[in-house]
Amino acid sequence: MKFTLRQLHIFLAVAKYQNISRAAESLHISQSAASEALNNLEKSYNVCLFNRQKNKLSLSPIGQTLRIEGESLWAHCQSFDNRLTNHNEMGHIKVAASFTIGNHLATRYLGGYLNQFPGANVQLETANTPEVIAKVLNYDVDIGMIENEVQEKDLELIPWREDELVVFCAANHPLARKKRLEDKDIREAKWILREPDSGARQTFEKALSNLLPKIQIYLEFKHNEAIKNAVESGLGIGCLSRIVLNKNFANGDLIPLTLPNRDMKRTFYFALPKQRYHLSAVDAWMNTCVETDITDMAKPQDT
């Protein structure tokens, strides 16, 4: 074997940042040391891992293939190292979740997970669906949790649980008395929605595809709370996951509206790189999420 783990680590860092200086900084080594290690790796195998144009680096075709295998190998090495040095503190994991899942579901699984791994370092990041997918494919996190199915050849999606979007308005909104919306109501309403790339928005647009050109999108927000506050202020009507709205419906400050013959259901997924080393922490996290009683999640919760 001609390569070293140090060379592998440097190669993966350069592949991530597409920049030797930033890669060296992330590894706390000098730029010259990183460049030398990368050059020696390429010379040892007579291979070009990167395309070099002026000050820009991009992975060559063979570099792209080797990066996938390298990430899996590096994860295996890290797992082996963790087992040796932290044998009583297993379960470290990095999770990226879309906003609805991260803010209203994922945090509720932490208790069960930490009961299994009391010394685990769990890092939970929230972002919209495209950002979560990017983090997963760039190996910035160990697992992603997203709200919609996506088409990405390097991504493995594992169905997790079902969800439903609900259209809603303020208690004093004129539609609150009607509760059941006809197409005319949908066209005339001012809609306050999530941003276009979000899973909630994609489900909304799919369910109302025949009316989209005539729908008045008044405001768009990246966060669920902003939408709820705007709707409660009487600025329009919204559409969010029932998980986000349960407490508001129970309190009566927001009112659910029915859309006949509109499929507002969707599936939540775990997202993983197809070429990955199977970490025990990832399997344990998924098992915790799957085995937690979802009826508890359907009850009104603080948001």
Kindly state the helix (H) or strand (E) to which residue 272 belongs, with its residue range: strand 265-273
CATH numbers and ranges of domains, the chain? 5-85 (1.10.10.10), 93-161+267-297 (3.40.190.10), 164-266 (3.40.190.10)
Residues 6+ apart with CB under 8 A from 66: 11, 49
Neighbours of 91 (CB within 10 A): 20
> What is the per-residue pLDDT for 237?
96
Residues 6+ apart with CB under 8 A from 4: none
> Can you give the length of the chain in residues?
303
Neighbours of 144 (CB within 10 A): 29
As a whole number of angstroms, the distance between CA 161 and CA 169 comes to: 26
pTM (2 d.p.): 0.67
> What is the per-residue pLDDT for 293?
60
> What is the per-residue pLDDT for 86?
59
> What is the per-residue pLDDT for 123?
93
Rg (CA), the chain: 23
> What is the per-residue pLDDT for 296?
46
> What is the per-residue pLDDT for 143?
95
> What is the per-residue pLDDT for 303?
38
> What is the per-residue pLDDT for 75?
86
For 192, the 3-state DSSP assignment is strand
> What is the per-residue pLDDT for 302?
41
The conformational region for residue 94 under phi > 0 = left, psi -120 to 50 = alpha, else beta, is beta
As a whole number of angstroms, the distance between CA 171 and CA 237 comes to: 11
Q: Across the 303 residues of the chain, what is the mean pLDDT of every consecutive 10-residue run?
A: 91 92 93 93 92 85 91 85 64 92 90 87 92 92 92 92 95 92 94 92 93 94 94 95 93 94 93 82 92 54 40
- Six-digit token pair at 302? 């603080």
